[in-house]
Structure 1
Amino acid sequence: MSNEPAAPARCWHWDGTAGRYCRALDGVRRYLTGYRCPLHTPAALAGRPEVP
């Protein structure tokens, strides 16, 4: 087992218009689609409010 700290979670939303991944670090949570920042959660992308 390694003593190295785990890498921080990053948002892996693909932004096709920019041609890159978001890679934000703030407020990232795990969803079925992967790690997402608040701007790229499934609800945010569908234009719905987040479920509390």
Structure 2
Amino acid sequence: MLSGTYAFKGSESDLLARGLINGGTLDSYKARLLLTCLRTGADLTVITDAFEVRR
């Protein structure tokens, strides 16, 4: 998984610095289900923890 190879605007380093939630190897369907946490008003920590557990 890339996490620090480039630092230009829009690179993974830039997006991670802006708060990107890393989905790791989750497919788009599973990531979308986890993102339903956003609609429930869940705290950012809860959301990122949910992604960490499932990676």
Give the TM-score band, short-chain normalised: under 0.3
> TM-score with structure 1 length normalisation?
0.24
Q: Work out which of the two has the higher radius of gyration on C-alpha atoms and give 1 or 2.
A: 1
> TM-score with structure 2 length normalisation?
0.24
More helix by share: 2
More strand by share: 1
